[in-house]
Structure 1
Amino acid sequence: MRKITLLFLVLIAFCWRSNAQFTESFETEIPATWTILDLASANGWVWDDTPEGDGAQDGSAVARIESGFDAPNDDYLITPQITVASGLNDRLTFYTKSRSGLFSEPYEVLLSTATATAADFTVILQSESEAPEEWTKVTLDLSSYNGQSIYVAIRTTSYGNWELFVDNFINDTFPACMEPTDLTLENISNASADFAWTENGTATAWNIEIVDVTAGEVATGAATVSGVTNPYTLSSLASNNEYELYVQADCGVEGPSIWVGPLAFTTFCDAFTAPYIQSFENAGNIPDCWTTFSDSGEEDWFFNESGPNHVGDGGDLSGSTLSNGYYAVCDASSSHGPRYLMSPFVDVSVLATPELRFYEISNAEDSDNAQLDVEIWDGSAWNPMGTYNTNTDGWELKIVDISTLTFTGPAQARFTFSEPNGGGDDDIAIDDVVFDNPIACIFPADLLVANVTATTADLSWTETGTATAWNIEIVNITAGETATSVATLSEVTNPYTVTGLLPNTNYEFYVQSNCGVADGNSFWIGPVSFQTDCNALTAPYTEGFDNAGAIPDCWRMYSDSGEEDWIFQDSGLSHVGDRGVLSGSTTTGGFYAAADASQDHGPRYLLSPFVDVSTLTTPALSFYEISNSEDSENAQLDVEVWDGAAWNLMATYNTNTVGWELKTLDISGLTFTGPAQARFTYSEVIAPGDVDDDIAIDDVTFGEAPDCMAPTVLFVSNTTLTTADVTWTANGIGTNWNIEVVNITAGETATGLATVFGVTNPYTLTGLEDDNHYEVYVQADCGVDGVSTWTGPYAFATAIVPPACEGIFVDGGGSHGNYSESEFSSSTILPNSAGDAVTITFTYVDIEVDTFGSGEQDGCYDYLTIYNGPDNTYPVLAQTLCGQDSSNGDNTIVADSELHVGDSFTSTDVSGALTIEFRSDPFTSLTGWEATVSCGVLGVEDVINEAAFTYYPNPVTNTLTLNAQKSIDNITVYNMLGQKVLRTAPNNITNELDMSSLSTGTYFVKVTIESVAQTIRVIKN
């Protein structure tokens, strides 16, 4: 049984003896008559009037020392000189404690018969020990020093702990009748308890005062029972009652000692009669008549309905119990020693074959298992019945046969949680503790709800016994009902479709096995919660998600992981659209539904209400989508439609959109046997993990398919000085399309009137002006069914007239304007004469971020790609994209390739030409760049031969990049004195030459390719 020990004493009377030679409680200071020696660390004894933890032992102040951290303490707190006189002051007492039981403070008590210097403290009154966390009285016998003058010191050598407190010194003599100490209590029952103590004198009888705290009694100093023995069995106690105990020694003619105590305890409840079950459904509190305690006194069992973080598998509790609510659990995050949980007493004499049952869940994750020991009290002793220290498969039912025990009284269960290998991640939990006969009718498990409609739901479970009929209780939570354990439906089959439910209502359901007359019914198991759908809405139906960030009424969402669902918002997430910027527009604007791609939480589902589409001639599902993978892989959006009998996959989207795009799905080909429902499934199946594609949708609509469906995915490519190729995705029956071209440079705006009619897909725009910005729109022409709405705009720019040799090459905004957002342009610069090569040198750079000509490209989203030849089929000479691929998969990545003023690029192709393409994102429009164009005969540096190579930048700050057609054998760098300062052997066609360690100046770089050496001059900044 549990043992209760009084670790400190509270003296009811005569705490401060009238014959004391001195007392010191440190209420105002550490007096000057005391001596403090600090011989080691920076910390020393100090006066503290606000001690942390439990405060002072009496009053408000203490003497305190903090543990050394720079070095171990060597500190003395020394009393004033004491002249010892027998029967007057031959005893010294004081109280001490550590601030925390986790950091127990070591100390020793020394005595000097000479001076208060450290060297004279040669007598050990108490060897080194650790002060407990509770205030503890220390008594020292000074009678051996009668007639001598002495000093007493408390010396601490603590290192890396916390704080030691001392309080209430008394120098007096031993009383004629010594008070008892070390009060303990064992074998507590509902009506009795064994009380014991330590006798410190010669007494053979003692007096006890029993205080009934529950009844409101207080201590009086008058004995309840007198002349008792030690130990003493308290009897006739009230059950489930709080008491306090005091004891005094009775020394006969020398009188009684002072009273010591109180020792508090609570008797157990009267025994319950089996069958008995405890499911811990007590709002997080320990159930009545249960007891929890720990050896350390620091942490007991908890009663939770979720957590701690490592209950189950990282907080995920799989499987089920009888009650599926609160449970008892121990937190394994740090080792606090054994923790005990004790049931009330249960009379099992009425059971033919008694057994103990309970559910356990245990998962060590990546640590060592904790341990659960289960014991049964048989009326006279504890009996170990089971040890559990392995992972469970979710919640597992444990059955302990206790019929072999010989019970001399009621039974009691004790569950002991311990960590033999120290703290870990195994937060063991238990639930539904039962004393009963073996189960005659075994309860079902794994309750499920599926195919929920407005008025019906399919209920199912797993039969774990032999039952062929079951009872169900349906509880209407929305109406405020609670479970009654009375069947709503009896002797049903499994599975069972419950009907007559109310739309848009929250329910719980419970089930029990019905095993017939002989074996009766099982326990009820549950609940499982579900919500019915709304009544079917009538098309046309649109949801714009403008519900202040809450999921709209009648919509449902869930995820496979149970961790994260769809989010409803009007800005963000940080990766909705392109890094949180949403281009284009939807019909309603405002809020939208989005899925956060920052972590892979598995598929996430968003379900519309049921919608009756029988009134529609050609039903369609439409919605807006925005998706941008930025620099990661795309997420995926699957769209399905329920036809009354099955889900039908209608579309899968896993590519970037151009801002918000309207998606229209023709669902008229489905055979509807009931209302329709849409399901949007977000997943990261292409590249599971952390991606940046926060897909969002808006304006979900069930309505008539347009007579003429608008095209989507409008795109412009292959722009030249006067032409551009336009493509789109056709939807519906249209085979001809109309295009409107808007000349933005000329100040035009869209009119909704076609510029060209009846074109095919793709279509090449002609007659454009060079160096101009345009927007293009397209609409389907469906003949007798009319035309669709316009799709667009898509912005583009025609090519700039290539500058002549010795000319200036500028961005699409010209020398004084900005380039455009979402711009694509392409320019090819040819030399004037065959055999010459084009070189462009950048004199001004302002791309992506407002550096305003600071001399470098500050960003990665607007970029140039420079091809070594007359078009974009030739090798990439450089791509100024911060070393990142532009997501089209075609470009060679050039590491660390931001554009800087002074960067120079020379063609090594036989044509001598360079082709430069520029792309900008939809969010920034800046002043661009200027570069000089020069043409010259190929020299030693750039002649087209087997040893040809290119290099940039020049001047160079840190890294010189070299690209060759053949493997570079050696690179050697010389300074102006001809001294070799760097050498490397790349054996690769590219090399990043690190020149960051070189001083500013001019260097010669010798490059050897297939035994042919060429030397270039490089300026180092």
Structure 2
Amino acid sequence: MACEILRFNFRNDLKSNGMLPLLPSIRFHSNRQKSGSIYTLVVRSNFERGGLKLNLIVLFGVISMITIIKSCCNFYLFFLSLIQSKIHIVMRVNFYTWLICLLILSFEGAVAQTTNCVPPATLTSSVSGSTTAVLNWTPAAGATYYNVQYRPLSSNPVQWLSMVSQSNTITLANLLCNTTYEWRVQSVCGNVSIGLSAFSNIATFTTGPCTQTCPTPAGLSTSSITANSAQTSWSSVTGAVAYTVRYRSANAPNAAWITLTVQSNSAALNNLLCNTQYEWQVQALCSPAGTVHSASPFSSSVSFNTLACPTLCPAPSNLTATVSASGSVALHWNAVSGAVMYHIQWRPVSSLPGQWQGATSQTNSFTIANLPCNTTFEWQVQALCGTSSNQASVFVSGPQFTTPPCPIQCPTPAGLASANILQQSADLSWTASAGAVAYVVRYRPANSPNSAWQLMTVQTNSASLHNLLCNTQYEWQVQAVCSPSGTINSTSPFSSSGFFTTLACPTTCVPPTALTSNVNSNGTATLAWTAAPGAIAYVVQYRPISSANTLWTSVNTQATTLTISHLHCGVTYEWRVQSICGNHTTAVSVFSPTEHFITPPCPVICPAPTNLVSSAIGMNSAQVSWDAVSGAVFYVVRFRPVTSPTVTHAWRTVTVQTNSANLGNLFCNTMYEWTVQAICGPSNAGTINAGGPFAPVEQFTTLSCPQTNCPAPSGLASANVTSSGADLSWTSTGAYRYHVRYRIANTNLWMNASSATNSVTLSGLHPNMTYEWQVRGICAHSSAFAVMSPWSNADSFTTLMLSPVRPSGQPGGQD
């Protein structure tokens, strides 16, 4: 069986008669005769004007040699009739079929056409405004029209958008503003199926910047403030048809906004809580809702305080908290007569308390869900009374509660042990964890706690370490892998550290000498030293000299020079070098004596604020102000109590955009020191060197505490002291809560803890260290003041040493 594809072009004759068939379907009918095979091709179509290429598929089959020999010149080749919009083509195929087909192709001019259609060149574009662009290109020879495709330029390209142009230019509208587009053009020459060029090279253009059609309101102010209402106003915005005002309590920054829409540049806020700070913002609406750019951004927040409550609600009592196995907590208290609502607040217990989370309830109970596991919370409740004034009681604290322990999917390995310790190797082992399929071991020298961990993975509960440094203490940890990597909870936490010390080095290795340093103007420092005999590498350590407790930063090098960068400006550094001798790890020297260098002074961008003033000083708050600094975009205020010449408290910070700040939550009858820093620059303020120096410190003392007998605790005692923890206790004074502070002896940095009882457990302590500690009671507390006792006399304890213990006098230790 053979197959031939013939193409017929019905042109002038059929065009002149207005009849040209389309080809939605083709059917073949076959009748076999002795003289050959007859094929009847039926084509059905509606007529239309225009050119059409008709593809006819004619199948030629040789029935038998006898049929071909008997064929003669008697044939009826082609019959064409037009009946009811149908074309019937009846073809008898015989010995001369090939010749007749060639004659028909010649007569109709149906020889297959070839074409050379080239793509356009020299693509150019011009952008008009933010959403319109005009594209141009050089005309292509023989092109009758062009396909234009364009889309936004992206690392994840979207589908091309297509348009057709009969000239060599086209205008694109409704584009995205401030967006880069890519585009290309294709020539169409004559018939679509044979006259398409390839697409041109891709060109690009970028639309103009977006414009904000609705300005943000400015000039916000608050007036006519009462216990339950306030009047807000702002400068009118040109083109605004309405404004959206939103407000909420400033003490609950995660609470939902309350919104209202007004047609003028002022709004009245009603049904507010008395004695409460609120923040509010406003947004301009410049066109009907739903249109593009109909609303401006919300303005910056403005705060105000409602007046004091005229009377107080009775405070809730008998507060209880019940923790369920699922982690939710049911809070309950006695109902308050006249209360219409209750305000509940809660937060994790911390030495640095965070923001309260809040909710309201119309009954005397509330359930909190989705709390983090294994966390202790404190909570308080307030009653809101009345229907018009919304009078509020004081907050009353409830008993602390702790959520259930976190589920451990993969147990942490325990029972860490080390054995067969040599100069450069050691064997480690631990108790197998149920369900573990592998373990990750990590280790590093114990005298370089900032160095990177070395990792290895094993399938059993033991591992051998090699290529260790001799005469060096190492710490190591192990982690269990309980399921294939990448799944949730597939690994346990790393275990607590184990320690071992490699054997003494067999040879003597001396430290480098002649240490020199050269500080460059860009803040980098180049350190150099004389090579030590036998040294194949060196360990360089450096740190700021501001505190002897600062950890060393270590860098390894095989050269006798090292350039270090990312140093702090205007800081004195000390540095030292250690030699590594032998076959990489056979011996290390002691560290050389330390040398010093000073980095260049810090550039000053902003001047320090001046004329610092303290005012409106209460028991628990104060107002501070200063002269505005030219070019400052905001200020950083920091303050802290001054309780003793030997005690340094951590700074608390407040960021403001004006030259004054309110300091709250202060201790009564306490001296405070404060200072302020100006931050200058454009919108990227806060980058390196954008801030000036802090101003000289000012001081003020809060008003005396209410007369309440609150004695300092006594009878301080410590017990169950380990290498990392201790239990502390004292004689109860009746205080409802206690603050504990502790520090490493002869240092200035205090750490804090708190307890509702007369005992507390400390953890995370350093081994073989002496700690001193004090405690004071909190005898009364409300939103207005806190009454605290003086700090007790100091007590001390010493944590245990780790085993094994590094022999005294060994080189390479941390200073």
Q: Same fold (TM over 0.5)?
A: no
Instruction: Calculate the TM-score normalised by the size of structure 1.
Output: 0.17
Instruction: Calculate the TM-score normalised by the size of structure 2.
Output: 0.21
